[in-house]
């Protein structure tokens, strides 16, 4: 995800989860939506070690943003101006990424919320949930501002500790596997 588009695409949800870079080896990418025909879609699938299909067949503005970021805007100062004005956030195009295999909270780098529809109660619930699983994660608004949930630090710590104790208690005991005697065939 572009560092200049931290909220991702608001049309696809009210929060953007930024995963840690270590997941890149488990990602397949397509230049556009993988449901599309042709080299932009499923025929253009690639991995994190060969980005040529994204640059060759991706949406022009997304390719331009990618190259500008990679070169620190040396060759496209106009794109830097578009970022400063906020117009880059209006882009609806993207490179699609699919992460293969299981995911868990330890692989989250950060969570970015869109300012629009989150209620105070939802923000508080998300922050408490994040603290339960990853205390160092603090959900932020797309502008980078931390959430203002009014969560008392002591209360949050107590809730997280209690949740951790409950999750340890609720784990079933390890299953015991009985060995079955094998017959003459097997």
39-56: pLDDT as tens digits? 888 888 999 889 999 999
pTM value? 0.65
Tell me how far apart the alpha carbons of residues 16 and 1 are, in angstroms, rounded to a whole number.
9
Coil, strand or helix: which one is 76? coil
Task: Map out the domains of the chain as residue ranges.
Answer: 22-99, 105-169
pLDDT, mean of residues 12-23? 84
Q: In a 3-state reduction of DSSP, which class is residue 108?
A: strand
Please state whether beta strands 46-47 and 96-99 pair in parallel, antiparallel, or not at all (unpaired): unpaired
| Residue 36 confidence (pLDDT) | 84
Q: Tell me what pLDDT residue 57 has.
A: 93
Predicted pLDDT at 68: 94
- Across the range 92-96, mean pLDDT stands at 89
How far apart (Å, rounded) are the C-alpha atoms in residues 125 and 77?
Answer: 41
pLDDT tens digits for range 109-161: 888 877 666 777 887 887 787 777 776 666 666 665 555 555 555 555 555 55
CA 168 to chain centre: 27
Place of tokens 């070169």: 71
């Amino acid at each position: 995800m572009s560092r200049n588009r931290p909220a991702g695409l608001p049309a696809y949800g009210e929060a953007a989860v930024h995963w840690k870079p270590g997941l890149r080896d488990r990602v397949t990418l397509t230049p556009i939506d993988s449901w599309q025909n042709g080299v932009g879609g499923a025929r253009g699938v690639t991995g994190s070690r060969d980005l040529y299909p994204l640059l060759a067949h991706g949406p022009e503005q997304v390719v331009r943003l990618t190259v500008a970021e990679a070169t620190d805007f040396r060759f496209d100062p106009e794109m830097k101006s578009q970022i400063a004005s906020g117009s880059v956030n209006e882009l609806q195009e993207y490179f699609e990424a699919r992460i293969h295999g299981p995911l868990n909270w330890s692989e989250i780098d950060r969570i970015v919320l869109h300012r629009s529809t989150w209620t105070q109660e939802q923000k508080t619930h998300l922050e408490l949930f994040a603290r339960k699983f990853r205390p160092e994660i603090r959900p932020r608004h797309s502008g980078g501002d931390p959430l203002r949930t009014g969560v008392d630090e002591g209360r949050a710590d107590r809730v997280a500790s209690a949740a951790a104790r409950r999750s340890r208690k609720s784990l079933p005991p390890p299953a015991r596997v009985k060995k079955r005697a094998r017959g003459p065939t097997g």
